[in-house]
Amino acid sequence: MTVPLKGRTPNGGVKNPKPEPTTFTEALAAIKNLQRRAFVVSYVERPNATRAAKLAGYSQKTAYSQGQRLLKDVEVSSAIRLGQEETAMPASEVKSRTSEVARATLEDFFTFDQRQHRPMQLRPVSELLTELFSEIAFEERFVKRAEFLGKKERADHDKAQAARKREALRMELEMEDNPKAKRWAPGPPVIVEVERLDLAKARDLGVLHLLKSLKYTQHGPAIELQSQEHARDQLGKLHGLWRDEPDSQSPKPDGSPQPIPDDDRAERLQAVLDRAKATE
């Protein structure tokens, strides 16, 4: 009785080789060791071998060496390659995302609210005094009818009214010294637009990924978008819009010098003549 050699059939033929995995799922299933499988998944998620080894359960001390060893393993490296191919962003999406960055606008991140505002104006004191007298008279009528006011509320009202009367006296004295006196004071109300950071709006528009950084300062939110200039430059190169002009100082691909433009030729010739005259 003959015993067939390992890897061969009894009649001497070679057994059918196990088919190579063609998908990431198949490649993971082929890795029987759960720790190695966990390394592959972590590495595909973020290609850092030491980090992936730690997440897979290898010790802090051996994570680096184990990670490097696993990357050289044929079964592991094949699974990583398939995983990266399946999860990688296709060319069409790369172009689309780059176009989104190039078209990004801050308008998508802000909402503009209308608010009432009284801008400061240089106004005649006589005009301000008239308004103040009207306010004092109104408050006098109010307090006479407001029998429902409590003791503290009435005391606060009297205190505020006294302050108004003191200010009116100061204005009267100011006008005695200068009838044309003016003061900076709030003018008539106007409607203005005030911007407000609106991340909910950006989320609904699907543009939060265009945000590069956001921090809050004493002056309000400081927001920075992904570089539009870089995105436009990449798209321009993709569409062949940017043509680099040949450098006259660098040689051609065959090693011969670049032709000198007529203007440069004249300048160089004049420079040679000037140096020649200087040495005479």
Establish if 230 belongs to a structural domain. no
Give the residue among 71, 66, 82 at the shortest CA–CA distance from 28.
82
Q: What is the CATH number of the domain that holds 28?
A: 1.10.10
Whether the pLDDT of residue 260 is over 60: the answer is no
Domain boundary among 87, 106, 140: 87
User: 121 with 183: CB under 8 angstroms?
Assistant: no
pTM confidence score: 0.49
Cα 184 to Cα 96: distance, rounded to the nearest angstrom: 54
Same domain assignment for residues 135 and 83: no
- The three-state DSSP-derived secondary structure of 161-218 is HHHHHHHHHHHHHHHHHCCCCEEEEECCCEEEEEEEECHHHHHHHCCHHHEEEEEEEC
Q: Give residue 88's pLDDT.
A: 78
Same domain assignment for residues 83 and 133: no
Query: In Å, what is the CA distance from 178 to each residue of 122, 131, 165, 167, 186?
Result: 15, 19, 20, 16, 21
Domain hosting 58: range is 24-87
Establish if 152 belongs to a structural domain. yes
Chain segment 46-76, per-residue pLDDT in tens: 889 999 999 999 999 999 999 999 999 999 9
User: Binning pLDDT at 50, 70 and 90, where does residue 21 land?
Assistant: confident
Establish if 129 belongs to a structural domain. yes
Chain segment 202-237, per-residue pLDDT in tens: 999 999 999 999 999 998 899 999 998 888 888 888
Tell me, what DSSP letter sits at residue 8?
B
Same domain assignment for residues 130 and 71: no
Same domain assignment for residues 82 and 128: no
Q: Give residue 257's pLDDT.
A: 55
Residue type, 199: L
User: What integer is the mean pLDDT of 233-252?
Assistant: 68
Domain boundary among 45, 72, 87: 87
Same domain assignment for residues 130 and 181: yes
Domain count, the chain: 2
Chain segment 76-108, per-residue pLDDT in tens: 999 999 988 888 777 788 888 889 999 999 999
Same domain assignment for residues 72 and 125: no
Polymer length in residues for the chain:
280
Residue 93: burial class (beta carbons within 10 Å; 0-12, 13-18, 19+): exposed
User: 97 with 89: CB under 8 angstroms?
Assistant: yes
Establish if 135 belongs to a structural domain. yes
Domain boundary among 188, 215, 246: 188
Same domain assignment for residues 80 and 133: no
